Every structure is written in C-alpha cells, then in structure tokens.
Structure 1
Amino acid sequence: MNPLLSAACDRSRTERRSAGSVTHPGWTITATMLASSLAFIDGSVTNVALHAIGKDLSSDADNLPWIINAYLLPLSALLLFGGASGDHFGRRRMLIAGIVVFAIASIGCALAPDLGVLLASRALQGIGAAILMPSSLGILGSSFEGETRGRAVGTWAAAGAIASAVGPPLGGWLVDAVGWRAIFYLNLPVAVAAILVAWRYVSESEAEQHPLDWPGALLATAALGSLTWALTLWSSRHAASRETLGGLGGGIALLLLFVWNERRRGERAMMPLALFASRPFVGLTLLTLMLYGALGGLLVLLPYLLIVGGGYSPTQAGLALLPFSIVIGTVSRIAGRLSERIGPRWPLTIGPILTAAGFALLVRADPQASYWTSVLPGIAVIALGMAGAVAPLTTAVLSSVDDRHTGTASGFNSAIARTGGLIATALAGAVIAVPAAEIASGFHIAAIVAAAFAASAGIIAFMTLQR
C-alpha cells in the first residue's frame, strides 16, 4: 500500500498525546522522519522489483504476492499493538527497537538465498515497521504542542510524501543498476542514522502501566494470515479447493475469537468495540477497506503489467507511478481545507467516485501503446480522486467517535487501509499468475473490479455520513 495515503490517517493519532516541551526540536523531527522513511520506502519499492526477484530466486508467479503480503500482514495486524507498546515501554525505546528489528530484517532480505528466507525476513520487517511507525508519531505528539505540533507532524507527513514518491523510481534504478538486493541494503545507513539521532537527542516518554493485549495481537495476526493465505491460494490457482475453504473458515473463526477477546477486555482491548456503536465510523471503516483495497491492487499490478507486458525496465515502471504521488502531495491540502468548510460527506462521496472513473479509464490501458495516452490519464484521475479523500477521511474518523477514542480510531483506520492492500495483493495473484500474453486482459478485469469497489466506497460515504 502507498505510505503517503496512510500517513494522513495515522496523523491524528498524535492528538491524544499529552503536550510537552522538547530540548532538540529539529533533531527530534529528524529522528522520526528517518525512522518512518524506512517503512514508507519499503512499502512501495518492492512493487517494481517483483519480476526481478521472481527470476533470480526461480519463484513461481503465484508466490510473488507473498513478497508484499509477508510485509503487510504483520504491519496491518500489529499497528495498534505497536502503538500501545510504545505507551507501555517508552516511545524512544520502542522506536529504536523497531529500527533495529527492521535493519536486521533488511539484511536478511538482502542475503536471502531462496524465497522462504526472503518471506521470513519480510515478515520481520513488517513487525519492525509496526513498532516504529506509531512510536515515531507518538514522539512528535508528546514533544510538541499547539501549532508547533501541527508543523512538526506536517513536516513528518511531507517527508513521507517525498519517500513515497522517490521509492518506486529509486527502487527501479537500483534493480537495473545494481540488482534487487540493493533496495534492502539501502535501509542500513538510514537505520544507523535514525538510531544515533534518536539515542542522542530524543527524550524518553513516561511509561504507562497498563496491560498489553497480547491475545488480541496474536488472534488478529493469525486471522489475517489464514485469510490472506487462502485468498492468495485461490487467486493463483483460479479455483477453490479444500485448503482454500479451510483457510477461509479458519480465518473467520479466528476473527470471531478476536472479537470475543476484544469484547471481554472492554476498554483495555487493542480495538475497543465501543467504536462500532458509531454508524459513521462503521461506514468509514468499510469505505477505507474498499477504497484502499482497490488502490493497493493498482500499485502492485500496474508496474508488473508494464514490466512483463510492455517490456518496461524497473526504472521506467517506477517513474510511471511518480505522477500519482505528485498529484496527491499537491492537491490533498486543498481538499483538506475544502472539507473543513463544507464537511467530509461530499469530498468522501465525490473523491472515491472520481477514483472509480480513473480505474475505468485503465480498462483501456495497453502496455504496448503510448504511456501518455494509455496509462497516464487513468493514473491522473485516480490520484485526483484519492487526493480529495485522504484529508477528509482523517477529519471524518476523528469526528465519528468520542474524544477518548480518537487515537485508537485513527490508528485502527490506518490498519484497515493496510488490510485492504493486503487483501488486494492476495487477489492480485489471479493476474500475476497468468501468462504474459494474457496479463493485459487480466489487468483490465482487475480495473473493473477496482472501479466497482471505489464507487461503492463513495456510495457508503453518502449513505452513512451526516449532512
């Protein structure tokens, strides 16, 4: 999933932190930006390296989605738990721990002799990212106050936008010039710099003595893992099987156990069920799952289509996605100001429907034709639609629950966005697994499905949000 889009959802998590003072404001922001850039870049850079990794490790096409999902799965399931861990053990301590885990996992990815080791290392990267991401935002929230906090978080989000935009073309260039393993070695100097700055200049937060929801974290991870495995297996084989049905049934059962556990723990739960008493929050959760799921599928399939079907180099495929991040970065602030004046209902209705129109335009995408007339129009319209939805979504999530749940609600919404990308990547295997000659037609079907999901997200916003 695109890290830039989820940054706006994560941003409001800081609002529940207590305001404080900071001795080294510039270095504190630098430490959090360096740390979070690891997760931002790694969330997108592997999309353009899938084909090269598959060839080098002699992996079947139906296994390639796991290179992305092995990272997204723990990140989606453990994001809220990572934030609670920072509150419990200290945010600077958990930020550094997350960076260390991420760096060790990056070495494992770079040295991986086969796909199994690579997937295990990617999963460890996801665990590290789930720890460092909420800790970085928590540090900003507790270190700054008032307008200074807003500027600090805005700077952090801008760094995420830059990392998101640079990730695919930089990754493509490294794959072409050095090899795909270089995209993981690139994390090491950034990790070392982030650890040194955080250790030297970031103040430790006061630990909160509350129990962590270990059963909830384990059940959420197991449930998402079972569902993702079953969907990936189904999409790659283009048919249901005993294993697929067993995985889906097991995943649903584990989800029910997760809900039971959260209900039993009440306000001490990783995901308090009181959130779902709000009709707008339920609608926004469905909207996020559908909209970001549609987008996650595009960000995986489009580079693969251009490389396999159109003969693009990884660098060219990465540059093909650059207009998306540029449009998001320039238009989302305007949409945010508009939403403050008219409310989030209409932006969250029109934005997803415009996104659906962009997906519909990609039905005519031809990897052999001109990029400027075949692919770019659809990407530009999708970016405009998403830019109209990103900032209003944050506002709507905050206003849909009471004040004591705002941090948890925004964190949960970000986790749902990543879960949408997780499911979409699992289903994308149905396109990745087809022969190269048929990949364009498979992509067109995926674009139609994505358009339907995005349009449904807009309708849900219109039906559930207040006027």
Structure 2
Amino acid sequence: MDRTTRVLTVAIIVSFIAFLDGAVINVALPSIAEDLDGGLALQQWAVDAYLLTLGSLILLAGSLSDSFGRLRIIRIGLWGFAVTSVLCAIAPTGEFLIVSRALQGAAGALLVPSSLALIIATFAPAAQGHAIGRWTAWTTAAFLVGPLLGGVLVDLASWRLVFWINVLPIAVALVLMHPLGRDEPRTERVRIDWLGAALGVIGLAGTVFALIEQSRYGWASPVVAVPLVVGLVSLVLFVLQERRSRHPMLPLGLFGRRNFAAGNLATVFIYASFTLGPFAMTIFLQESGGLSATMAGLATLPPTIMLVLLGSRFGDLSGRLGPRLFMTAGPIIVGAGYLLTLAVQDAFVYWWQFLPGILVIGLGMAMTVAPLTAAILGAVDPVHAGIGSAVNNAVARIAGLVAVASIGVVAGSQLDVAGYRRTALAVAVSLVIGGLVSWFGIRNPHVEPVTDAPPATRV
C-alpha cells in the first residue's frame, strides 16, 4: 500500500468513526429515552450535546491540526473517542450520558477536519475531487451500516452496544497509521485563540440550551432567558474577538474567497436539513409509524446506499464540470423528496408514503455532498487545509445542532403525523434556499488536467 492510498484509507476510517456515531444514535434514541426516563428533551440532548462540543471546538481543532500536525491530532482524537465511547456505553443516568456525549463530541472535533486536511495536503489539486469523492462515498458507508447495525443491537441486545462498536474501527485506524510515522516539523507554529474558543463554546451552549428547554419552561423563564442572552452576547463577542485577534480561531479573511463564503452559507441550510430530516424521520418511524429500531434503520437505508454508489461518480463529474450545477440541483432534489413524504398519514404505509420520497432524497444527497466539500476546500490554500476544513465542518455541525434544538418550535412536543409534516416542510424549504445560494454564489474554478507529477506529501 503506497502512502497516498494509506492516507486516504486512514482518512476514511477516521471519519467513518465520527459519522458512525451520528448514524447509530438516531435509531437508539427511543430506547435511550425509555431506559433513562427521558422524553424528547433527552433525545435532543443526546444528539445536541455531541454536536455542541463538536461544532464549537472543531475550529480550535483545525488550528491545532495546522499547528501540531494532522497525524498527531488524529491520534489524540482516536484515543479520546475510545474512552468517551465507553463512558457513553456505561451511562447510568440521562445526565451522565449527556455529559459523556459532550466529551465524545470534543474528541470527535479532532478527527474530521484533520482527516480531510490530510487528503488536501497529500493529493495534487486536480486529484482532490476524486479523492474527496471516494472519501465521501466510503465514509457514508457509516450511514449505511449505522442505522441497520444500531437497530439490530437495540432490538436484540441494548442501546449501550451502539457505543461499544466504536472501539474496533478505532483500533484498526491506529494500526494503519503507524507506518505513516510522525508529522513533518513546522518552522512556524500557529498560535491558538483560546479566548475565541471559550466564547464560541459559551455562545453555542447558551443558545442551544434555550432552544431545547423553551418547550418546558417558556421563553420568559429566567432558566431560558438568561442562557439565551449570555449565549447571544458571547457569539457577538466571538465575532469581535476574531476580527481583532492576530491569530484568530476563525480567520474571517477566508470568507473573502467567493466559493468558500458561498459554500459555507449554502452549508448552513443544507446541513441543517441533512441533520434535522433524518432525526425527525427516524423517531417518527418508531414512535408514530410503529416500526422497530431495526426496521426503522432498514427503512432509511436507500439514501445512504445511493450516496455510497453514486457519491464518487458525482465527485468526478464535479471535478470536470465544476460544482455549481450539482450544488444547486442536489439540495433542491432532496427537498422535493421530503415534500413527497408529506403523503404520510395516521394509517402509516411505508411503501407509498415514504419510500418514493426517500429514493429522491438519496439521489439529491449523492449529487450534493462531494461537490460541496470539494468546492469549499478547493478555495483554501493547502497550508490552511486544516482550518478550512474545520470551518466548513463547524458550520455543518452547528447548523445541525441548531436545527435539532429547534425541532420543538417547529414540530411541537412530539413527532406525530402533524409534527412530522411541519418538520419535513421546513427541511424542504431550507434545502431549496441552500440550492439557490449555491446557484448565485458558487463559481466553477478552472481545473488543470491531472498529470503524472507526484502529489504533495506534506501532512
């Protein structure tokens, strides 16, 4: 196995681990809530505690990756993810699980941006689209394996096993990384913006807490109002800090590049929908549709299968034709798929109420993911690949975080038929906006043909 193949394999497995956790958790939520005596709020926090630290620390992780080396940060993240997965698996209470999920998100923040930065720093620019397409297709296998495996584990054994399964791929990744050695020394170390990191965490934590708990306490309650105000003020101070800092955690200058700015704005709408849609769909299928965890996992598999089979193909097409068309049409097609699922009724029939829409969703997702990633990272210099990848991942995770936190505002207190319909409509609208942002904002870059020149290998 040559170095580029090994790097791509490691990047795929590392991201697979983080994505597997996100794919597995949705089918386990009803069992977790029942076992630990929680309702929709616990289900939201089981997802959002992870996304909160992942989204708020992923920018810091990008800076750490650029400063201390991608391989070193990945190794630290893998060990941290292993320990926190065990803590989640043995959680005796809902509060313990939420704290463990937050710690797990902190470890996960070290994985995805560093793995993508590893690809950008290793492959030549003309080959990056294809490599990212392969990365997208294979890491999406986590979403293929996750719901099915998670459903089987929940139905036949316990929801706790969905966290134990993280240990095996972590061990495989650590073994494969050994021949890659250490990162090349960097002459100039990036200074870390610790104040920005703290303000980002406080800002997101306060805002998300208010969005989730407002359904229980109401907006006027100090329990909700105080965290909301503190969170919003902290987010404003975060932006001001990033503007004045000599070494910002979020380099605002990156947004001066058109594709980077437009791509991240599109990511807000697209990935808010990519997170909220499956979250609502999986819970609805179990709690209102009457499906078991295993059957809910099977029912939501078609989009993942299509993404695995077609993701690299659309990545190749994007490399030749440019990402603009795919980033426009893909989200709109996904939105059309969610509109088709509005056919759901109290007398639930999967085959005609859900399946047609799910197939359309799969096609649109396959068109969207690889071109979106390639367009954004292609606008960043390789030396800043870590922070560029981290920014986009942070935008995606924070968008999903806020979307899930807001589900009570959209759906109400439960995901019955009416609640699901309102959620699916909101998801579709967000996706159409994301597609329009891509059309008006993205420009197809000039791509040099692939040559036999050796790729850059600095990681």
**TM-score with structure 1 length normalisation?**
0.86
1:375 aligns with 2:354: yes
Taking a change above 3 Å as real, the CA distance of residues 285 and 179 of structure 1, as seen in their structure-2 partners, is: same
State how 1:340-419 maps to structure 2 within 5 Å: 340-366=319-345, 368-398=347-377, 408-419=387-398
- Kindly indicate whether residue 200 of structure 2 is the aligned counterpart of residue 223 of structure 1: no
Instruction: Report how far residue 412 of structure 1 moved.
Output: 1.4
Determine which of 264, 268, 277 is the counterpart of 2:256.
277
Is 2:216 aligned against 1:253?
A: no
Whether 2:175 is the aligned partner of 1:185: answer no
Distance in 2, matches of 1:350 and 1:147, equals 23
Secondary structure, aligned partner of 1:112: coil
Aligned to 2:450: none
Q: Give the CA deviation at 1:349.
A: 2.5
Correspondence for 1:205: 183
Unaligned runs of 5+ in 1: 1-21
1:342 and 1:32 map into 2 onto residues whose CA distance is 26
Say if 2:97 is the partner of 1:118.
yes
**1:456 maps to 2:436:** no
Find the partner of 2:32 among 29, 53, 66. 53
Which residue of the other structure, out of 73, 76, 98, is the alignment partner of 1:97? 76
1:12 corresponds in structure 2 to none
Percent identity of the aligned residues? 37
2:173 is the counterpart of 1:167: no
Question: Contact 2:338/2:361 (CA < 8 Å) preserved in 1?
Answer: yes
Check conservation: 1:275, 1:405, Cα contact below 8 A. no
CA distance in 1 between counterparts of 2:322 and 2:303 reads: 25
Name the aligned partner's letter for residue 241 of structure 2: N
| 1:421-458 Cα distance to aligned partner (Å, 9 max, x none) | 111111124577635xx711101011111121112222
Q: Which amino acid counterpart does residue 358 of structure 1 have in structure 2? A: G
Aligned 8 A contact 1:360 1:447 in 2: yes
**1:10: which partner in 2?**
none
Partner of 2:423: 446
Aligned with residue 290 of structure 1, among 269, 290, 296: 269
Within 5 A, what are the aligned runs for 1:17-36?
Answer: 29-36=8-15
One-letter code aligned to 1:450: V
Structure 1 Cα separation of the partners of residues 160 and 130 of structure 2: 36
SS in structure 1 opposite 2:390?
A: helix
- When normalised by structure 2's length, the TM-score is 0.87
CA contact (8 A) 1:94 1:131 kept: yes
Return closer, same or farther for 1:227/1:370 CA change in 2, 3 Å cut-off: same
| Partners of 1:364 and 1:98 in 2: CA distance | 43
Q: Is the 8 A contact 1:172 1:316 kept in 2?
A: yes
What is the deviation of 1:207?
Answer: 4.2
| 2-structure distance, mates of 1:175, 1:220 | 35
Change (3 A) 1:185 1:342: closer
Q: Would the aligned equivalents of 1:238 and 1:430 in 2 still touch at CA under 8 Å?
A: no
Q: Counterpart of 2:368 in 1: which secondary structure?
A: helix
**SS state of the match for residue 414, structure 1?**
helix
Please give the alpha-carbon distance, in whole angstroms, between the structure 2 residues aligned to 1:129 and 1:433.
30
SS of equivalent residue, structure 1 residue 49 = helix
Q: Which amino acid aligns with 1:457?
A: G
Distance 1:341 1:140 in 2: 19
Aligned in 2, Cα 1:399/1:190: closer, same or farther, shift over 3 Å? closer
Residue matched to 1:11: none
Distance in 2, matches of 1:60 and 1:74, equals 22
Provide the C-alpha distance between the structure 1 equivalents of 2:274 and 2:75, rounded to a whole number of angstroms.
31
Q: Offset at 1:153? A: 5.3
Whole-angstrom distance in 2 between the partners of 1:445 and 1:40: 27
Q: How far is the alpha carbon of 1:278 from its aligned partner?
A: 4.2
* Change in CA separation of 1:332 and 1:38 when aligned onto 2, cut-off 3 Å: closer
Aligned-pair CA distance for 1:73: 1.1
Output one character per residue of 1:348-400: Cα deviation in whole Å (capped at 9) or x when no partner. Answer: 33222222222211211237422111111111222222222223323432465
How large is the Cα RMSD of the aligned pairs?
Answer: 2.8
Equivalent residue letter for 2:67: H
CA contact under 8 A between 2:268 and 2:396: conserved in structure 1? yes
Cα distance between partner residues in 1 of 2:5 and 2:370:
25
1:232 paired with 2:212, answer yes
What is the CA-CA distance between 1:80 and the residue it aligns to?
2.6
Answer whether contact 2:61 2:390 (CA < 8 A) is retained. no
Aligned length: 442
Structure 1 residue 238: Cα displacement? 7.0
- Code of the residue aligned with 2:147 in structure 1: it is P
2: CA distance, partners of 1:123 / 1:167: 20
Say which SS state the counterpart of residue 310 (structure 1) adopts.
coil
Q: Any residues of structure 2 matched to 1:77-92 within 5 Å, and which?
A: 77-92=56-71
Q: Deviations over 1:64-118 (max 9, x none)?
A: 1000111111111222321321332333332221111111111111111001110
Task: Give the gaps of 5 or more residues in structure 2.
Answer: 445-459
How much does 1:331 deviate?
3.0
- CA gap 1:107/1:405 in 2 versus in 1, 3 angstroms: closer
Quick one: which amino acid aligns to residue 423 of structure 2? Answer: A
Q: CA deviation at 1:28?
A: 5.0
Residue of structure 2 in register with 1:5 after alignment: none
CA distance in 2 between partners of 1:155 and 1:113 (Å): 39
The one of 43, 50, 53 equivalent to 1:64 is 43
Corresponding position of 1:18: none
